[in-house]
Amino acid sequence: MLRRMSIPAEGPALDRLRRRSIGTLVGGVALGSTGHIAAVTVATLAAQDLAGSSAWAGIPGAAVVLGAAVGAPVLSAVMVRTGRRTGLVTGYVVGIGGALLAVLALVTRSFPLLLAGTVLIGVANSANNLSRYAAADLVPLARRASALSLVVWGATVGAVVGPNLVPIAGDAAAAIGLPRLAGAYLLPAFFVAAAALLSFALLRPDPYLLADASERRDEDDRAGDPIRALIRRPSVWVALVALVTVQVVMVLVMTMTPLHMTEHGHDLASVGLVISAHTFGMFALSPVSGRLTDRFGSAPVIVAGLITCGVAAGLSAIAPPDGGLLLAFALFLLGFGWSLGYVAGSAAVTGGLTLGERTRLQGWTDSLIWSSAALASLGSGFVVAGAGFATLGLLGAALVIVPAWIVAARRGHLVGIGAPETPLVAD
**In the predicted structure, residue 71 carries a pLDDT above the cut 60:** yes
DSSP string, 109-132: T-HHHHHHHHHHHHHHHHHHHHHH
Q: How many domains does the chain have?
A: 1
- Predicted confidence at residue 143, as pLDDT, reads 86
- Predicted confidence at residue 233, as pLDDT, reads 78
Task: Let me know: does 376 contact 309? Beta carbons within 8 Å.
Answer: no
Asked if residue 65 is part of any domain, the answer here is yes
DSSP 214: G
| CA–CA dist 407, 155 (Å, integer) | 27
Name which of 36-45, 258-267, 268-277 the model is least confident about: 258-267
**In the predicted structure, residue 353 carries a pLDDT above the cut 90:** no
| Residue 382 structural domain | 13-414
Average pLDDT for the chain:
85
- Predicted confidence at residue 1, as pLDDT, reads 46
DSSP 352: S
- Predicted confidence at residue 383, as pLDDT, reads 86
Name which of 22-31, 332-341, 349-358, 361-370 the model is least confident about: 349-358
Q: For the residues 337-345, what does the mean pLDDT come to?
A: 94
Q: For the residues 42-58, what does the mean pLDDT come to?
A: 78
pTM of the model: 0.82
**In the predicted structure, residue 203 carries a pLDDT above the cut 90:** yes
- Predicted confidence at residue 382, as pLDDT, reads 83
> Closest Cα to residue 3, out of 75, 81, 77?
81
**In the predicted structure, residue 187 carries a pLDDT above the cut 80:** yes
**In the predicted structure, residue 342 carries a pLDDT above the cut 80:** yes
Asked if residue 204 is part of any domain, the answer here is yes
Q: For the residues 7-35, what does the mean pLDDT come to?
A: 89
Residue 137 sits at φ, ψ, to 5 deg, of -60, -25
Over residues 128-170, the pLDDT tens digits come to 999 999 998 898 878 889 999 999 999 888 877 888 899 999 9
DSSP 424: S
Q: For the residues 89-101, what does the mean pLDDT come to?
A: 96
- Predicted confidence at residue 358, as pLDDT, reads 84
Asked if residue 225 is part of any domain, the answer here is yes
Q: For the residues 228-241, what does the mean pLDDT come to?
A: 82
Q: For the residues 289-298, what does the mean pLDDT come to?
A: 91
The helix (H) or strand (E) run that includes residue 342 is helix 324-348
**In the predicted structure, residue 423 carries a pLDDT above the cut 60:** no
Helix and strand totals (H; E) in the chain: 17, 0
CATH of the domain at 101: 1.20.1250.20
Asked if residue 6 is part of any domain, the answer here is no
Over residues 360-400, the pLDDT tens digits come to 899 999 999 888 877 887 788 788 888 888 888 899 999 99
Asked if residue 309 is part of any domain, the answer here is yes
Distances in whole angstroms, Cα of residue 282 to Cα of each of 157, 289, 332: 11, 10, 7
Task: Let me know: does 322 contact 264? Beta carbons within 8 Å.
Answer: yes
**In the predicted structure, residue 174 carries a pLDDT above the cut 70:** yes
Q: For the residues 172-187, what does the mean pLDDT come to?
A: 92
- Predicted confidence at residue 352, as pLDDT, reads 65
106 band by pLDDT with thresholds 50, 70 and 90: very high
- Predicted confidence at residue 265, as pLDDT, reads 65
Asked if residue 427 is part of any domain, the answer here is no
Q: In sequence order, what are the residues at sequence separation of 6 or more whose Cβ sits closer than 8 angstroms to the Cβ of residue 310?
A: 249, 337, 396, 397, 398, 399, 400, 401, 404
| CA–CA dist 110, 185 (Å, integer) | 15
Distances in whole angstroms, Cα of residue 288 to Cα of each of 26, 91, 404: 16, 28, 20
Asked if residue 424 is part of any domain, the answer here is no
- Predicted confidence at residue 426, as pLDDT, reads 35
Asked if residue 170 is part of any domain, the answer here is yes
Torsion of CA 418, 146, 209, 214, to 10 degrees: -20
- Predicted confidence at residue 286, as pLDDT, reads 93
421 band by pLDDT with thresholds 50, 70 and 90: very low
318 band by pLDDT with thresholds 50, 70 and 90: confident
- Predicted confidence at residue 115, as pLDDT, reads 92
- Predicted confidence at residue 427, as pLDDT, reads 33
**In the predicted structure, residue 10 carries a pLDDT above the cut 80:** no
| CA–CA dist 155, 280 (Å, integer) | 8
| CA–CA dist 101, 120 (Å, integer) | 9
